[in-house]
Amino acid sequence: MTDTETRLYRTMARIRHFELAASRLMASGKLAGSLHVSIGQEAVAAGVCDTLRTSDYITTTHRGHGHCIAKGGGLEPMMAELFGREGGYCGGRSGSMHIADPRAGILGANAIVGAGIPIALGGAFAAMRRGDHGVAVAFFGEGAVAQGVFHESLNLAALWRLPVVFVCENNLYAELTPVGVHLAAERVADLASAYRIPASQVDGNDALAVRAEAAKAVQRARDGDGPTLLECMTYRWHGHFEGDPQRYRDAEEVQRWKDADPLVKLAAAAPDRADAFARVEAEAEREVAEAVEAAQRAPEPPPSSVLADVYAAEGVR
């Protein structure tokens, strides 16, 4: 099962079941700290990352589990990190918002709004200097667009024709604030024209549409033609964080977006793959359950490791 539709469905199903499991674990008190899930937004991560090579880079956000999974992050080390266990990507010391795996091109999630965008520029600059036709993708929400670093990064990327794709996941709310309250522009995509960067707005719940637009942007970057901005219109079914009372939106709005479920939409577009999708769904649920079991069995990091990776190793100059 290697066709595009099945591959995209598999990625979205793995993200969905990982996020559902994490949400349940947080609600039951088995996870500590804060948790931001991307249930409802799976098509953006799946569609964009399906166009990338392992050696390409991504940077992501506080809501980054889906991007990491789509880029090739392992379910077991990710879940172990959420549990704060050895074997997690950061040794159990970072939690949900700082997962990174340079071997898979994941330069890291980031708890600071917009902070991943310039890091992606660094990855793109490195690829350009190496001449290997590598590409970097910066994922961010529409809440980051009002940050100065967004505009600084678009300006520099355009000046240097960097091989970077800016992907805005517009889920209509910056934390608890509706987009119309904090952003003057009606469309994030319109802001790219000031920097002479091509841009498009796409249905972020349609994995095939996202992939098609991302493929054009990624190829443009590989060909040395510079950056592109994609605005993907989507929606998070859960609150900004797990436990968010969500007083800022009503149930009818949430239900309208649930009716546009990215997995259901893809299944409707490929009815002949219903059996394959059912098998993929069961496999994803099993993989996530196994990751949870492995994380729960894993030991906690010893207190002696608290300073590991904080200071340079002895003899390093």
Model pLDDT for residues 37-52, shown as the tens digit of each residue: 999 999 999 999 999 9
Instruction: State both tokens at 149.
Output: 């670093």
Kindly give, in sequence order, each residue whose CB lies less than 8 Å from that of residue 213, ignoring residues fewer than 6 positions away. 47, 200, 202, 230
pLDDT at 312 over 90: no
SS3 191: helix
| Number of C-beta neighbours around residue 33 at 10 A | 11
Task: Supply the pLDDT for residue 317.
Answer: 46
Q: Are 171 and 236 within 8 A, CB to CB?
A: yes
Alpha-carbon distance of 31 to 27, in angstroms, equals 8
pLDDT band with cut points at 50, 70 and 90 for residue 1 = very low
Using DSSP bridges, classify how beta strands 177-178 and 173-174 pair: parallel, antiparallel or unpaired. antiparallel
Answer for the pair 11, 50: CB distance below 8 angstroms, yes or no: yes
Domains of the chain: 4-298 (3.40.50.970)
Q: What pLDDT is stored for residue 37 in this prediction?
A: 98
Q: What torsion do the CA atoms of 73, 77, 82, 86 make, to the nearest 10 degrees?
A: -150
Q: What is the pLDDT of residues 93-132, one digit of tens each?
A: 888 999 999 999 999 999 999 999 999 999 999 999 999 9
Q: What mean pLDDT is reported for the chain?
A: 95
E-strand stretches of 92-170: 136-141, 164-170
Tell whether the model's pLDDT for residue 313 goes beyond 80: no
pLDDT per residue as tens digits for the range 225-252: 999 999 999 999 999 999 999 999 999 9
